[in-house]
């Protein structure tokens, strides 16, 4: 039986800005680009969220929702340094760490000797030390697997701790809405709802074969999650293949000009995510993903293309021609070359 902790910083960028500038305390704060330059919100604090401000929202729209919103320019170097300090705290308890981003990670503490092996007390101590040393808060979830630990970390946000013991898995998962399951987005949740499946207890009434018929290979995953089963290990060296940003729009974008208008904001977010990567990656092929109003989708990439606005405009235009219909989702991204693996392969050939 594994003991997994999922640690998630509370509104990470905004929390650091409020920590470093006390004048921002108790005010609606967002980190992102300028509204004058079609900027996009990267994250915001809970005061801003109360007005409906969300990440990936245009800064201009965020200011309409919250005229007093203070938008701060991102300081990626500072965020990376704080993330390294948090990771250093994690490593005092376990080396089995899977970072998901700068501000969240899975930890496998199954064999950790601290606090007589109590994952709950380890999580409490991690939260205490991050608060004491770095003056920001983190939420944590403790559970027998990654799926449940991630749900648990969100259960009492912000600055919360939620524990699901092995004996509690059955009851907790039974009442869990299927919309909370890993990999279930709005489209899948809507389809499950039309089938009368609202909770995991409803989902358990379906056989594995029936779910596979309805949802393909994801049906087997649904069958397992409905029973709290998730055998995925914490991946110590989980190497990325892509970095991307995508946004689903409340109203379908009617034509190509409307899609092109959204590109600068998406690319700003993409560049911020690229800046979080360490030096062991190199950007390769840019790509664009479109999902049309009828849920058909297409992805287009181009080897050798630049990673600038003009290149993405050309890709988006070509992708739009494939459907020629209103668009509900735009994604932009970059394929990555793992320089660490390239180096290993070169060393192998040199032997």
Which residue has better confidence, 38 or 186? 186
Q: How far apart are CA 56 and CA 41, in angstroms?
A: 5
Task: Go through the domains of the chain in sequence order and give each one's CATH number.
Answer: 4-12+77-166 (3.30.70.270), 13-75 (3.40.1170.60), 170-225 (1.10.150.20), 242-345 (3.30.1490.100)
Inter-residue contact 129 to 121 (CB < 8 Å): no
Mean per-residue pLDDT of the chain: 91
Inter-residue contact 8 to 139 (CB < 8 Å): yes
Q: Is the pLDDT of residue 346 over 60?
A: no
Q: Is the pLDDT of residue 37 over 80?
A: no
Task: Give the active site residue among 104, 214, 246, 301.
Answer: 104
> Is 154 labelled as part of a ligand binding site?
no
Q: How far apart are CA 266 and CA 195, in angstroms?
A: 35
Q: How far apart are CA 46 and CA 53, in angstroms?
A: 9
Tokens 């199954």 -> residue: 110
Q: Quick check: pTM over 0.85?
A: no
* Chain centre to alpha carbon of residue 340: 24
Annotate 253-268 with three-state secondary structure: ECCHHHHHHHHHHHHH
Q: How far apart are CA 350 and CA 348, in angstroms?
A: 5
| Average pLDDT for 283-295 | 90
Which pLDDT band holds residue 345 (cuts at 50, 70, 90)?
very low
Residues with Cβ within 8 Å of 244's Cβ and at least 6 positions away in sequence, in order, are: 270, 273, 287, 289, 331, 332, 333, 334
Q: Is the pLDDT of residue 1 over 80?
A: yes
Q: For residue 95, indicate whether it is catalytic.
A: no
Q: What is the pLDDT of residues 78-108, one digit of tens each?
A: 998 999 899 999 998 998 999 988 999 999 9
Q: How far apart are CA 15 and CA 43, in angstroms?
A: 10
Q: How far apart are CA 96 and CA 101, in angstroms?
A: 16
* Chain centre to alpha carbon of residue 232: 17
- Here the tokens at position 126 are 């991690």
> Is 36 labelled as part of a ligand binding site?
no
């Amino acid at each position: 039986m594994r003991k997994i902790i999922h640690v998630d910083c509370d509104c990470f960028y905004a929390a650091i800005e409020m920590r470093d500038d006390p004048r921002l305390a108790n005010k609606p704060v967002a980190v992102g680009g300028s509204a004058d330059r079609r900027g996009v919100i990267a994250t915001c604090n809970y005061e801003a969220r109360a007005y409906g401000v969300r990440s990936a929202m245009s800064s201009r729209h965020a200011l309409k929702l919250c005229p007093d919103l203070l938008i701060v320019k991102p300081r990626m170097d500072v965020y990376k340094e704080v993330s390294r300090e948090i990771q250093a705290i994690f490593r005092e308890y376990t080396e089995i760490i899977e970072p998901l981003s700068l501000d969240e990670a899975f930890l496998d503490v199954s064999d950790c000797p601290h606090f007589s092996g109590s994952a709950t007390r380890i999580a409490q101590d991690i939260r205490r030390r991050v608060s004491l040393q770095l003056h920001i808060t983190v939420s944590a979830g403790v559970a027998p697997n990654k799926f449940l630990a991630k749900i648990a970390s969100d259960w009492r946000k912000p600055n919360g701790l939620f524990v699901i013991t092995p004996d509690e898995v059955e009851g907790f998962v039974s009442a869990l809405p299927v919309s909370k399951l890993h990999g279930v987005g709005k489209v899948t949740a809507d389809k499950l709802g039309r089938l009368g499946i609202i909770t995991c207890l409803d989902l358990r009434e379906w056989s594995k074969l029936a779910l596979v018929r309805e949802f393909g290979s994801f049906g087997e995953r649904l069958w397992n999650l409905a029973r709290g089963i998730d055998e995925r290990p914490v991946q110590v060296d989980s190497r990325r293949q892509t970095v991307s940003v995508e946004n689903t729009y409340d109203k379908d974008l009617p034509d190509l000009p409307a899609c092109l208008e959204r590109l600068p904001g998406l690319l700003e977010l993409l560049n911020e995510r690229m800046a979080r990567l360490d030096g062991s990656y190199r950007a390769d092929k840019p790509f664009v993903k479109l999902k049309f109003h009828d849920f058909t989708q297409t992805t287009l990439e181009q080897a050798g293309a630049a990673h600038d606005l003009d290149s993405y405009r050309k890709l988006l235009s070509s992708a739009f021609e494939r459907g020629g219909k209103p668009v509900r989702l735009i994604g932009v991204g970059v394929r990555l070359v793992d320089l660490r693996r390239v180096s290993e392969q070169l060393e192998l050939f040199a032997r």
